């Protein structure tokens, strides 16, 4: 299996510079009081596409463009597709995005608005990916994986670089966990800079493929169901090449949350942090609010929560705030 290197991460940073935002790392007074330690928010929700996914997509597409490959296809639960569409437009490339019927309409509309061709197929991320791979074969398109790709992982890893540069004494980093591209990238960079950083993955109870795979010791299939953390849905692929092994090696702990907790995280982000975030981005906040982060990790020094995205349906967001 090809090995990711820190040089790959620095190369990714050079590639994406000027095309993505170096996002703020802001102290949270409310969460610091609750956790009894310094808590910081890494606001990937402030990327132009509203999600961290822009980093990996831009690095992957820029690498393809360097080789003269200008037509791509991907499968996505929404944010990766939006990122691929945005990066393709900025690089003068053509993009096709395959998504399942479970992807929220606001995310489908956002991809359409960026000029990508959208293909809706199946009731899961896995079924959408089958369609994407078929189109890649039939139309000669380059397939850009949503997470299980070294260039995508290296792009997400630039978040880890920025965290450790801005806050060298970071003791713990809490990261939303899905297919593992974000988690393994951030963990790889952070632990190469400071080996004792605790890496904590957080995901939902409903259809958590990476958590189930870690428990089984191998990639496994799970049923994809609706959840407030829709960006964390989908499988990791039975033929997973990179993210399963990296996550297995780098994760110090994984936390599962129910839907009530995720909703509480979304509401707290809005009321206390003045942030509109999607369910996947709220899981770190929710884990702290629920006391699910080990006290030993909290007592070692500053904690950073990666706030992964802002692309929540505004009607859903309004309802959660009103019902809280």
The residues, any chain, with a CB within 8 Å of residue 11's CB and separated by 6 or more, are: 154
Burial of 178 (0-12, 13-18, 19+ CB in 10 A): buried
Structure tokens that stand for 71 in this block: 């037509």
DSSP-derived letter for residue 4 is: P
- Phi then psi for residue 252, to 5 deg, are -85, -30
* pLDDT at 262 (0 to 100): 98
- Non-local (6+) Cβ contacts of 71 within 8 A are 93, 94, 95, 139, 140, 141, 142
Give the pLDDT score at 131: 95
Strand pairing category for 39-43 and 25-27: antiparallel
Distance of alpha carbon 285 from alpha carbon 26, whole angstroms: 14
Sign of the torsion formed by the C-alpha atoms of 109, 110, 112 and 116: negative
> Would residue 225 be called left, alpha or beta, if left means φ above 0 and alpha means ψ between -120 and 50 degrees?
beta
The one-digit pLDDT tens for each residue of the chain (324 residues) are 458 999 999 999 999 999 999 999 999 999 999 999 999 999 999 999 999 999 999 999 999 999 999 999 999 988 999 999 999 999 999 999 999 998 889 899 999 999 999 999 888 888 999 999 999 999 999 999 999 999 999 999 999 999 999 999 999 999 999 999 999 999 999 999 999 999 999 999 989 999 999 999 999 999 888 899 999 988 899 999 999 999 999 999 999 999 999 999 999 999 999 999 999 999 999 999 999 998 888 888 899 999 999 999 999 999 999 998
Only one residue has tokens 């966990």, namely 177
Chain centroid offset of residue 61 CA: 17
d(Cα 36, Cα 15) in Å, to the nearest integer? 39
Tokens of 56: 């990996």
Q: By the 8 A CB rule, do 257 and 205 touch?
A: yes
Taking residue 270's Cβ as centre, other Cβ atoms within 10 Å add up to 18
Q: Do residues 204 and 256 make contact, with C-beta atoms less than 8 angstroms apart?
A: yes
The answer to whether the CB of 321 falls within 8 A of the CB of 269 is no
DSSP character string of 164-205: HHH-TT--EEEEE-SSSHHHHHHHHHHHHH-TT-EEEEEEES
């Amino acid at each position: 299996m090809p090995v990711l290197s820190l040089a790959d991460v620095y190369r990714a940073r050079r590639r994406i510079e000027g095309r993505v935002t170096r996002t703020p790392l802001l102290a949270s007074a409310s969460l610091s009081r609750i956790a009894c330690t310094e808590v910081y928010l890494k606001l990937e929700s402030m990327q132009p596409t509203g999600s961290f996914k822009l980093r990996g997509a831009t690095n992957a597409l820029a690498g393809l463009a360097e080789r003269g490959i200008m037509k791509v296809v991907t499968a996505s639960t929404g944010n990766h597709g939006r990122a691929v569409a945005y990066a393709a437009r900025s690089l003068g490339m053509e993009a096709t995005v395959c998504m399942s019927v479970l992807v929220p309409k606001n995310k489908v509309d956002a991809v359409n608005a960026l000029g990508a061709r959208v293909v809706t197929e199946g009731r899961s991320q896995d079924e959408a990916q089958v369609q994407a791979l078929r189109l890649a074969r039939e139309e000669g398109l380059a397939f850009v994986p949503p997470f299980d790709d070294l260039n995508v992982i290296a792009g997400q890893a630039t978040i880890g670089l920025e965290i450790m540069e801005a806050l060298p004494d970071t003791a713990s980093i809490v990261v939303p966990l899905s297919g593992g591209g974000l988690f393994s990238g951030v963990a790889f960079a952070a632990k190469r800079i400071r080996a004792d950083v605790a890496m904590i993955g957080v995901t939902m109870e409903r259809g958590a493929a990476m958590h189930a795979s870690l428990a089984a010791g191998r990639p496994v299939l799970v049923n994809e169901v609706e959840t407030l953390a829709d960006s964390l849905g989908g499988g990791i692929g039975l033929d997973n090449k990179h993210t399963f092994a990296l996550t297995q090696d780098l994760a110090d702990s994984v936390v599962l949350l129910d839907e009530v907790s995720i909703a509480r995280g979304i509401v707290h982000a809005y009321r206390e942090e003045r942030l509109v975030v999607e369910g996947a981005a709220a899981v770190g906040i929710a884990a702290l609010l629920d006391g699910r982060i080990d006290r030993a990790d909290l007592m070692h020094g500053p904690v950073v929560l990666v706030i992964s995205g802002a692309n929540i349906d505004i009607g859903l967001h309004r309802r959660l705030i009103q019902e809280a």
